[in-house]
Structure 1
Amino acid sequence: MSEARTPVRSTGKGAARQTVAISFAGFNRPWAAWIGDRLERRGLRVVYLRWDAPPDQSLTGLLRDLTLAGGRTLILVSEWYFQLGPRTHEEWNEALREVVAPDPDRFAAVSVTNTTVPSATAVLAPVDLTNMGAEEAERRLLDRLDVPLDTRISGDVTRPAPRFPASMPDVWGGVPRRNTRFTGREPLLNDAYHLLQNSEPGAGVLTLHGMSGVGKTQLAVEYAYRFGSEYDVVWWVGSEKRVSYRRLLAELAPQLGLSTGPEYGERLRAVRDSLRRGEPYSRWLLILDGADEPEQIWDLVPTGPGHVIITSRNPEWSEHNSKLLEVPVYARDESVAFIRRRAPRLTETDADQLAEALEDLPLLLDQTAGWLNDSDLSVEEYIGLLEGGIDQDVVKVSADFPLAFQTAWSILLNKLRETVPESVDLLRLCTFFAPGFIPVRLLKEMSHDDLPEQLAGLLDDPLLWNKAVNQLRQYSVVRLESHEGALDETAATGESIYLHRMVHQIVHKDMPESDRGEFIDVVRRALAEADPGRPTDTRNWDAYAEIVPHLKYADVLQSKDRKVQTMVLNCLRYMYFAGEYTSGVNLGARALRTWRRLLGESHPRVWEVTYHYANLLRSAGRFQETEALERAAVEHLREEKGESDLDHLRMAGGLAADLRELGRYDEALEMSQWLYAAYRELLGDQDSRTLNALNNIGYTVRLMGRYEEARGIDQRTLEARRLLLKGRHPWTLFSEVSYATDLRLLGRYAEAESAQAKNVREYRMVMGRDNQDTLRAEHNLAMCQLRGGDRAAAGTLLTRVLEGYERKLGDTHVLTLAAAVSQSCFAREHGDIDQAREASESVIARYEMLLPEGHPFVIGARANHALILRSVGEREHAYAVAEEALAGLTAALGESHPHTLGCAINASALRNLVGDAEAAADLSRATIARAAETLGRTHPLTLSARIAHAADLRALRDRQQAEKVEQEALSDLAATLGPQHTHTISARSRNRPYWDFEPQAS
């Protein structure tokens, strides 16, 4: 028969509830939280006692102190519990026999480990909770504490419960394997936890900052495992570069069940939106590792109900709404405990001396203690090497590094050379990749012909390769965890290794000059051979995202190898299509500068990189810089190669695009017409480049307000593309949007909506719902619906389009701003006027940042804002803004441009409001004449001017003429738009019409 156990009870007099004190190592906090929750829900009082065993305190005394909480003490048995101190198993056996054995009913235990623990633990009679489900684990727990299974569950059963520790969060990715040698840091972990838990929603961002090698990443890893049970999503993102950050964060999209297209820029924005809304998960933890340059990614850090942990050497994250928690070097007792676990042969005195010599830096302690444990060298002898090896000529690699680091590394490298010299060669090769995760499989996959002799054996012999990798791993020089969360078997092949930035720098600096040229050439070749060769194919984007971060470290721009240069150009093209504009501009600028010097000003590769760089600059909104760059290139190419050269024509096409973006429409049209003629002569009418040039003419003419002419050109382009490229080619679909837009601007609303609705269906099927061109088509459909009178459908679609653009292109792209303008105007008339005003002010600010003063889009946005000011009662202010906008549009576009005419309709109304009825009537009368000449007597804009003029005549008390003008306008409105159209009904009710500026972005 088994001996009866005393049930859980309170030993304190008058205690209202039974008490259980849970004693646990910090490493096992998830188990303590789960067990405590299970007990509290059954009415027990739980006291949490995180176990610590300072080496200067008696283990017996510490165990006796556990009983002071009253009730029963439940110990969570794990190797971590017994390693703190560290204490030997004999010490533990002695203490357990002395404290627990005489009064075993005061203690109970559960085991959450499968490793060997002190033999005297048997006195605790632990029950095993591993390798089973939550229900069975709870049954065993309650049975061990003699709590009946049928005990009524009390308290708030709806509150979130901690996850069963043996089960992972619903989404878990990229987190490195847990460091089983992790030591100390308890106060830091607790501070991090409370800072995040107590943060306001949307403000849960914490940066762990400190110098290189201090253990920031390891602290973040431990946080993820220790507190991961409190999250539904835990996702790790290497954040050294914006490109890799975007790609790795975007990989979360399918894990969250988000429906997106194949482009990771689109997936990234969907992820950020999902995290911000907390749908489908609100309890998420995102860890951004190695984010040393806040300016690279601060604008992409998600906000929402979850938490973000950033590891960085840079405390400037405090300027980007992040709390800071400095990670110092180890406290001395932590250093000693860590060294003795890493190198059991060392005594406590040895560990203390070593920690002092290495200044308690965790990375250095890890590497040094690892090989000292395998060496017969004493700590005193090692310290003697450190002290004797430093001379006055040694220059520290960085201010981040302790003084002893370079010498310590020299000793370690010598050890590596003596055992497996190829491991040093592999390490040096790795320094021509970016620090962090290094795809060394690219070295194995490349052609091994003509390799340097010292590397040929390493790369050709799998056994030697694995031996070199394992040697580096043994001394903690590299880690094998995969940043994509690969299985252990994959990581063990050494296809991707992790090299700390600190190690990367010191090894690179230590390398003999004779090796540099050969080693860097090998890495350049490996990167070039990994180039998929088709940067426009979204299926290749992951491969390019992996290559791009390493270009700088392999110094690829200095290579004259044609394959390497082609790779650089393909990477630039990829960055353009993937929306990596900032990184692409930086690479393009360096490439242009370097190749001009390396290859000469007129080398074909220089013109090629100029073209790609200009595209990226223009996409980043730096239109004036792009225009200056491309104008100089156009002039040089014309002189060198002649006007008919295809390189010259391509660059001239870019210059025409710059001029359009800058609002210089006359110059853009002249150049586009010349280009079209040149392409026709060289390539014929049916070449896609010729049709692209024709398309650009149509766009420019539309911007100039010549809508009928634009319609004719766009119709020709559309029909030709249907013949050449077929109906569902992206460029054919693009032309359909242009043609439908022309119809709408001409007032042919029904035709426009019919054509656009069909086009949107095609776009969604061919390109996906979230593609930027699909959104462009939907934006035009929403405007067709609005003009046709279906305000509800238009409002819903406008909201979707704006949100889609913001996710895909960001807040300052011209397409996003165009959608924001439409949304603001809609909100003014049919929504929240305060929201409309805020949106309008934001749009104007972004336009002013993006475009030069005097640009039609800037002026038009201000004209819209005047109407909002009118709506909130600020008449005088609205009048001044409207008059200034009218003068600006007249100067920029001419007095007969539809935008100028629309602004004049608004300005006449505001003149009337401020009491200048005569000036209002003069303006509306002149506007009718110009609009009739430009657009025709029955165009909706002309009809609006006629209705407005009737109102001005009534203000002048010329009722007879007002009635005549109004009746004629109403008759024409009914005939043109229909008697039940919203514009007709509104005019019949004598609601004065207003005009909304709409930027034609493409």
Structure 2
Amino acid sequence: MTVEHSAGVARLSGGIPEVWGKIPPRNKNFTGREELLRTLRRGITGQVTAVVPHALHGLGGVGKTQMAIEYAWRYRSDYDLVWWVPADQPILVRSSLAALAPRLGLPPATTTGTEEAANAVLDALRRGEPYARWLLIFDNADEPGDITGFVPHGPGHVLITSRNHRWEGVVDTVPVDVFSREESVQFLTKRVRRSITPADADRLAEELGDLPLALEQAGALQAETGMSVSEYLDLLRERTSQLLAQGKPSEYPASMTAAWALSVASLTERMPEAVELLRCCAFFSPEPIPRDVFSRSHPALGPRLSTLIEDPIRLARAIGELGRYALVRIDPTSRTIQVHRLVQALLRDELPEEERARKRTEVHALLVASAPEDPENVTNWDRYQQLVGHIGPSGVRENQDPKVREFALNVVRYLYASGDYSSARIMVNQLLDRWTEDEVQDDTSILSARWRLGIILRALGEYGAAYELNKQALADARHKNVDSEVTVRLINSLGADLRAHGDFRYALDHDTDSLKRHRELFTDGHLETIRAMNSLALDHGLNSRYLEARDLHEEVYLRLQDPKVGGAATTLNAWTGLARAVRLCGDYAEACDLGEDAYAYGVEQLGPDHPWTLRTGKDLSIAWRRIGDYDRSMELAEEVHARHVRLFGLNHPDTLAAAIALTNIQRAVGMLDAALELAEDTARRYPRVYGAEHPFNHGCQGNLAVLRRVCGACKAAREINEKALVGLENKLGRDHHYSLTVASNLASDLAALGEVEAACRLGRGTLRRIRAVLGESHPMTLACAANLSVDLRDAGEIEESGRLFEETMDAYARTLGLEHPDAVVAAERRHLDADFDPPPI
């Protein structure tokens, strides 16, 4: 690293940091601000720092962002990581942080989802791993509350730019005023060079109030046209007088408005279509606009703009002209153009409302034309990420055109598919709030948005809210006789809500009808029909109809082998469902084979932290436990649980399922204290997510009861199991796998308490029922029979006990093998414990 000196300030020069992300190009005309930079440097090394305007200058254009850019470039050698975060929209903050994940050795948002990736980035920055010398720059953060949750307090530095003085009460601030006169003169002589004298620069700065943005545009105009300062000042005064006479809003300095108007007028004479392009850009967000947005024409575009877009050579020239006149910032690396928000406001302000509406319509058409068709395809996510920041500022939600509304919902689909559930929820709620206000409501778009919101709520674990929303939406769709495709999608979605609500039998009937409707409306090979089939397969499994579930999951999986149908996540979902159904049928070895292949596919295609990969890993750990491979089961269960906690928190349904899988293997290997502690914590959390009467909650209580008995608290175990059995029978009936599992364990509780005859009575009834539900040779049936043989022996029923024991051991030899842990326990005439693992709904 070398140190250069200029104007008394040490300037650091050297290589770009190892991670250098999204920093705008350095302003070659940056001037002055040396004392401010010194103050900023001193302050930022100790705490979060905000660059805010001076109290007398609350407008844009004073150079806050340019200060931040210069700081990043000047002191880059002091950092290993520098990252720029657009902060005027919370959606952009989260996605920008998520984009940093791969640079930190973390799974990208394309595999984990935006929200999880952003959280992982913040955690890594707080820990200083792998980089302790980092700088985050949050540009144009308005309200402190919008980003405080995204500010990592760790070993690195945070810099914030804002127009909002409220930051002064939150963090250390560095007020930024307009240029000093000396800085203004220095800037203009550098910008215009040989054609302006210091005296003329002083005169010009006086008229423009030393506002950096106005000086930049005035200097650019003179550099491009060769206009003399005197001529420029005459025109400026004339324009200013006109503006003041017209009563222009005082929100902007009249001199700034006049300077901007002169630049636009000059460019209009030189290349009018460039000004047309600029006016279009005024209705995008102030964030960078992808250059490719202007690569496709659209019937909704005006003739001048349409002709320009259809001529790539002239389009390139127009963009270049806008850059030379300092009306846009061009970043050739990211292939974006950006217009200062103050310039955008001035451009919009000069247009009558009818013209503004036309420009907004043009912007919407460009956004629609540039969006890929499939927002759930990972290869399209980068483009959608570039577009998402322009949805709100451009007023997309105000547009009633069905194509524009479809585009808006596709952005919601992208946010959901990428895992940014919070942003997806915010955006779809904003769409619904606006759309339901329209005098002429588009019921199809509104119901589609409500359907999307229901899916998002389920992904967030808010099952009750999703259920109520979808139930009402479906009732409205049927009442209004809206588009049948929307109706059948809502029908299928409501089936998931019924499962989440614990109404397994009702969900089975509901989804049987749903699949029939899908087949009538779509083809059998249509993705929507396949999803309806998958829903019905889940219903069969939740109703202990495992053979039917296996057959239907297999059909779903085979249909998805067509590369034109579904994607990697959809395929993995089906693959995991098939492996799970095979395991529940008792075919543990085959389930392991399927699960190992599926997990390898998920890690390779989606990454180890993708939600579906994690679900597959959890199921594989269960299959390994069932087959008796405890070492691999424990290793994977611990890993999957840790990833769930890190990515989703402790209360997410998938985290709770992973916790149950971990407690079960911990119990199997004798880690009783750890298993009991985690099982108690999980049992406390389950009712908050599913409700106290959900079958999963009772199943979780059954697992806790097993641990209580194994740890010696047999009476407590009995009380828990009796209550769980009542709850399961009320919800599912006695002839259900979950109910029979708890009943089998309750018989073991009774035996442990010395109530052998009661244990035999319960064991006989449970064995009879479980044979009818699962079959004679299912591992759960064999465990129940083995336990009953022990209880019969202790009750003095020696002949019956011996016959049942021999039959059971013969069945073990034919199925799992006598070396399997269950067979070993049965051979030793000890009780086997049955446990519960909740499947996804």
| Alignment TM class, shorter chain as reference | 0.7 to 0.9
Deviations 1:416-459 (A, max 9, x none): 34533567755543331112223365246535986266997799
Corresponding position of 1:711? 550
Q: Are 1:515 and 2:349 an aligned pair?
A: no
The counterpart of 1:559, out of the listed 386, 394, 399, is 399
1:384-399 paired onto structure 2 within 5 Å: none
Corresponding position of 2:282? 431
CA contact (8 A) 1:917 1:952 kept: yes
Deviations 1:693-725 (A, max 9, x none): 333222112112332442344345556666998
- The number of aligned residues is 811
Rate the CA distance shift 1:680–1:556 in 2: closer, same or farther, 3 A: closer
1:401-800 paired onto structure 2 within 5 Å: 405-421=252-268, 427-439=278-290, 442-443=293-294, 445-446=296-297, 451=302, 461-462=314-315, 465-466=318-319, 469-470=322-323, 472-473=325-326, 478-481=328-331, 485-486=333-334, 495-500=336-341, 504-505=344-345, 508-509=348-349, 511-592=351-432, 594-595=434-435, 598=438, 600-601=440-441, 604-638=444-478, 641=481, 645-680=484-519, 689-715=528-554, 717=556, 734-761=573-600, 771-800=610-639
Corresponding position of 1:983? 822
The counterpart of 1:324, out of the listed 152, 162, 171, is 171
The alpha-carbon deviation at position 793 of structure 1 amounts to: 1.0
Is 520-529 or 806-815 further displaced after alignment?
A: 806-815
Secondary structure at 1:553's aligned position in 2?
coil
Secondary structure at 1:327's aligned position in 2?
strand
Q: Distance in 2 between matches of 1:391 and 1:873?
A: 91
CA contact (8 A) 2:787 2:826 kept: no
Q: Distance in 1 between matches of 2:786 and 2:375?
A: 54
Secondary structure at 2:660's aligned position in 1?
helix
Rate the CA distance shift 1:782–1:469 in 2: closer, same or farther, 3 A: same
The alpha-carbon deviation at position 394 of structure 1 amounts to: 8.1
Corresponding position of 1:237? 85
The alpha-carbon deviation at position 370 of structure 1 amounts to: 8.9
Corresponding position of 1:896? 735
Q: Distance in 2 between matches of 1:650 and 1:906?
A: 41
Corresponding position of 1:342? 187
Q: Distance in 2 between matches of 1:391 and 1:845?
A: 70
Identity %: 30
CA contact (8 A) 2:650 2:656 kept: yes
Q: Distance in 2 between matches of 1:315 and 1:807?
A: 35
Q: Distance in 1 between matches of 2:504 and 2:201?
A: 80
Corresponding position of 1:158? none
Q: Which residue identity lines up with residue 808 of structure 2 in the other structure?
A: D
The alpha-carbon deviation at position 666 of structure 1 amounts to: 2.1
Rate the CA distance shift 1:227–1:674 in 2: closer, same or farther, 3 A: same
CA contact (8 A) 1:480 1:498 kept: no
Where does structure 1 lack aligned partners over 5 or more consecutive residues?
A: 1-29, 33-75, 85-111, 114-163, 197-204, 398-404
Q: Distance in 2 between matches of 1:843 and 1:301?
A: 30
Compare CA radii of gyration and give the structure with the larger one: 1
Deviations 1:635-675 (A, max 9, x none): 454456599x4443333222222222222222211111112
Deviations 1:47-72 (A, max 9, x none): xxxxxxxxxxxxxxxxxxxxxxxxxx
Rate the CA distance shift 1:995–1:459 in 2: closer, same or farther, 3 A: same
The alpha-carbon deviation at position 530 of structure 1 amounts to: 1.0
Rate the CA distance shift 1:451–1:531 in 2: closer, same or farther, 3 A: same
Rate the CA distance shift 1:506–1:884 in 2: closer, same or farther, 3 A: farther
Q: Distance in 2 between matches of 1:947 and 1:338?
A: 90
Corresponding position of 1:22? none
CA contact (8 A) 1:448 1:456 kept: no
1:371-382 paired onto structure 2 within 5 Å: 375-376=229-230
CA contact (8 A) 1:209 1:326 kept: yes
The counterpart of 1:972, out of the listed 805, 808, 817, is 808
CA contact (8 A) 2:84 2:136 kept: yes
Q: Which residue identity lines up with residue 318 of structure 2 in the other structure?
A: W
Structure with the higher helix share, 1 or 2: 2
CA contact (8 A) 1:251 1:264 kept: no
The alpha-carbon deviation at position 561 of structure 1 amounts to: 4.2
Q: Which residue identity lines up with residue 383 of structure 2 in the other structure?
A: A
Q: Distance in 2 between matches of 1:563 and 1:315?
A: 40
Q: Which residue identity lines up with residue 233 of structure 1 in the other structure?
A: L
Q: Distance in 2 between matches of 1:820 and 1:300?
A: 28
The alpha-carbon deviation at position 824 of structure 1 amounts to: 4.2
Q: Distance in 1 between matches of 2:687 and 2:157?
A: 34
Q: TM-score, normalised by structure 1?
A: 0.67
Q: Which residue identity lines up with residue 546 of structure 1 in the other structure?
A: Q
Q: Which residue identity lines up with residue 137 of structure 2 in the other structure?
A: I
Secondary structure at 2:632's aligned position in 1?
helix
Q: Which residue identity lines up with residue 978 of structure 1 in the other structure?
A: G
Deviations 1:870-917 (A, max 9, x none): 788888877766555444333333333322333445556667889999
CA contact (8 A) 2:518 2:528 kept: yes
Q: Distance in 1 between matches of 2:132 and 2:241?
A: 53
Give the superposed CA RMSD: 5.3
Deviations 1:155-211 (A, max 9, x none): xxxxxxxxx942222222211234532512256434444325xxxxxxxx7666777
Rate the CA distance shift 1:294–1:823 in 2: closer, same or farther, 3 A: farther
Q: Distance in 2 between matches of 1:677 and 1:920?
A: 45
Q: Distance in 2 between matches of 1:341 and 1:837?
A: 72
Rate the CA distance shift 1:1000–1:471 in 2: closer, same or farther, 3 A: same
Rate the CA distance shift 1:688–1:372 in 2: closer, same or farther, 3 A: closer
CA contact (8 A) 1:343 1:370 kept: no
Where does structure 2 lack aligned partners over 5 or more consecutive residues?
A: 190-196
Deviations 1:757-777 (A, max 9, x none): 344455556666665444433
Using CA pairs under 8 Å that are at least 6 residues apart, name the structure with larger relative contact order, 1 or 2: 2
Deviations 1:455-491 (A, max 9, x none): 9779975587257524652xxx653346xx54xxx6x
Q: Which residue identity lines up with residue 738 of structure 1 in the other structure?
A: G
Corresponding position of 1:118? none
Q: Which residue identity lines up with residue 786 of structure 1 in the other structure?
A: R
